Chain A
């Protein structure tokens, strides 16, 4: 902001005093450290994705197997099933959290007395570690006296006998609900900030024109907070796509494979089954998918940015 407001002439003078390598000198330590921290594991995984290596059988790779690990991952829907669960969780989760968050943001934007306190308290679920949210919901979902099954049965909604997390038809939705609980406030608070930044005269003009509320939201408010909305949608979409600690606590991918996300699948292959080769192959498949999605977001959302 401030940089753009500086007239062109002084900047020229500044550049004469600051040779071009200075910014790179300041940036490079962080870039080099980060490159090292991500390059080593990625190359390690790339190499081992072509080897048969089970940690229970030996501390070093046991033999070159070409693309066998990739083939094994793609066989029998092992990887694709997890990808489908992940996409379902991510798309539905982002959409539900955005919609509910926007509704709450509109409510908060009425700025009634005392709502500031409500807003400050509302963000609390988002501050909790996802793994701790997992503990909290495992308690509340407990089929032997948890709060949520009790509430549902008391209003007449039937619960599967194995519990919400124990039945393959409900488990993924139960995991999703915990995530929605944690992250809807995130959307609410950020979108509320976006709504507040809309200039009053625009809203006043719309009010004088008697714009109906839905048209006001759709044609005026949403376009004006588009940039903010895109940022939160992108961040949340990627976090959901990478979901794994919530699964570790709530379901361990089960029952069956009904809640196996991509993240949990490669964690399980490596840290539970000790199949480093298979886990490494899936790591690369996931990294490529994640990069493609981020690339799409950046291409469409950040083209005219900065």
Chain B
């Protein structure tokens, strides 16, 4: 294709790409700059592009007093916990939905998909009151448990697409040798789809990490996650933008790194395995 492209058309295409990157990446860089900007230049217009960076906001948010440091830790616990709890539920289901042509398989898959499209906000108030009444409010466990409504359906869909790619013949050979279903699933299929499970877990981690709705109503001061903790800086005494930017950028980095690392699986992850990419 390259050779047939005319030069002006190529130049135009590259110019468009530059504009796109400016529009879609520019704001992110602008926010990163806010994190290291002297407060006086945060709102000076025309924009100040060059300045002496200051580490004050980073020091305040993560070192002394470092209010956001435990929140970063909380975010890791909730997201990692949600992924770990989901695996024993989602892997067997994904395996069964990939390998058995049972009646109602399509409906079960669509039911999981429906859960992913359900409005989380519809469950927030009941969860908040129910969690208080059973003494779970403010615990990591409550957030990890409720996150399963996202991680399980997502992981079933994505993992199933990976299991579909493992040839079924290997399993049949093992079955002829007398292996049980559990042994086949855990000793043969599990090692073969390990890359798929890792990819699924990393995306599930991002989705739990980015979920703000559940911690918003379930967390307390001690267990709140990073994005929700950032809300505290929108105080009545004025908004401290430097601190917000540091905390927000810290919340952005893990999902970005995971997406860059999983580049060739991004389309597959974002479409729950239904588009191979």
Residues in A131-151 with C-beta less than 8 Å from chain B: 131-132, 135-137, 139-140, 142, 144-147, 150
B residues adjacent to A (C-beta < 8 A): 1-2, 5, 10, 13-14, 16-17, 20-21, 23-25, 27-28, 30-31, 34, 42-47, 88-90, 92-93, 95-102, 105-106, 108-112, 114-130, 145-146, 148-149, 152-153, 156, 164-169, 172, 175, 181, 185, 206, 209-213, 216-217, 227-228, 230-231, 234, 241, 244-245, 248, 251-252, 255-256, 258-260, 263, 266-267, 270-271, 274-277
Q: Does A241 contact B (CB under 8 A)?
A: yes
Q: Is the CB of B251 within 8 A of A3?
A: no
Contacts of B152 in A (CB 8 A): 30, 33-34
Q: Is the CB of B117 within 8 A of A235?
A: yes
Contacts of A193 in B (CB 8 A): 267, 275-277
Using CB atoms, name the residue of chain B closest to A194: B275
In the assembled complex, 30 residue pairs joining A and B whose CB atoms fall closer than 8 Å, in A order, are: A2-B168, A3-B164, A27-B92, A29-B88, A31-B111, A34-B112, A41-B126, A42-B122, A110-B13, A115-B17, A127-B252, A129-B210, A129-B255, A135-B245, A147-B45, A147-B47, A150-B45, A150-B47, A181-B23, A189-B270, A190-B267, A193-B275, A193-B277, A197-B276, A244-B121, A270-B124, A271-B124, A271-B125, A287-B119, A287-B122
Contacts of A135 in B (CB 8 A): 31, 230, 244-245, 248
Q: Is the CB of B167 within 8 A of A2?
A: yes
CA distance A184 to B27 in the complex (A): 14
Given known contacts A131-B227, A280-B125, what 20 new A-B pairs fall within 8 Å (CB)?
A26-B92, A29-B93, A33-B148, A34-B112, A37-B148, A41-B123, A112-B10, A115-B17, A128-B255, A145-B45, A150-B46, A190-B275, A232-B275, A244-B213, A248-B216, A271-B217, A279-B125, A286-B119, A290-B117, A306-B109
CB distance from A8 to the nearest CB of B (A): 11
Q: Which of A10-18, A65-73, A162-170, A215-223 makes up part of the contact surface?
A: A10-18
* Interface residues in A, total, Cβ within 8 A: 103
Q: Does A104 contact B (CB under 8 A)?
A: yes
A residues adjacent to B (C-beta < 8 A): 1-3, 6, 10-11, 13-14, 17-18, 20, 22-24, 26-27, 29-31, 33-34, 37-38, 40-42, 44-45, 104, 107, 110-113, 115, 118, 120-132, 135-137, 139-140, 142, 144-147, 150, 154, 181, 184-186, 189-190, 193-194, 197, 228, 231-232, 234-235, 238-239, 241-242, 244-245, 248-249, 262-264, 266-267, 270-271, 276, 279-280, 283, 286-287, 290-291, 294, 298, 302, 305-306
Q: Is the CB of B259 within 8 A of A139?
A: no
